[in-house]
Structure 1
């Protein structure tokens, strides 16, 4: 049985204003980034929320945050092209995967972006 949207997901969510603060941009820019597929957002309890671990904190040191920012949009595009809705993409990112040392695609994205993108591409075939 496939996990449902209530079975898997991040441990922490951000609202759009919180994401804007973390990214050091205006709220309208976060909405545009979601619309353009650069960020993943879903509606929870009537509020648009973003998985906190998939929103890079650009106010802190670069390194892993820039890696996440650079690769997240590409993976989201691949998932979208494979027909995944934002809810389905969220489930894919957070479904436990024993073949990844980090446990989920979301956790592995910072360290193994090429591997995660390859796995997402395989979904389209």
Structure 2
């Protein structure tokens, strides 16, 4: 996969998330700790892909998918990369399929990665 085929997204810092979600810092950290969101260091700063949010909330289907990927041995960077890279068996980037409501298909593919 080339970087040009990757799903394009802005990146949100923790302060961005606090403001966008209108939640206190502790709640934002819990969302990360409990796998409702996943982020990693980009350019030395912890960031979360903005595409993981819809209408100012984490995509509901994201948490289960993150858990499936972590169970398959993926670290946060690998999880983010897999979600943003086009997946041949799905036909689009997994995050795009999740945003379209295709969580069963995405999780079925993710479960085969272990």
TM class by shorter chain equals 0.7 to 0.9
- Asked if 1:110 corresponds to 2:110, the answer is no
After the TM superposition, which residues 1-125 of structure 1 pair with which residues of structure 2 at under 5 Å, given as runs?
8=6, 10-58=8-56, 68=59, 70-101=60-91, 103-111=92-100, 112-124=102-114
Q: Any gaps of 5 or more consecutive residues in structure 1?
A: 59-64
Whole-Å Cα distance in 2 between the matches of residues 9 and 104 of structure 1? 6
TM-score by length of 1: 0.76
More strand by share: 2
TM-score by length of 2: 0.83
Q: How many residues align?
A: 112
SS for the counterpart of 1:50 is strand
Q: 1:10 to 1:108 in 2, by over 3 A?
A: same
Q: Any gaps of 5 or more consecutive residues in structure 2?
A: none
RMSD: 2.3
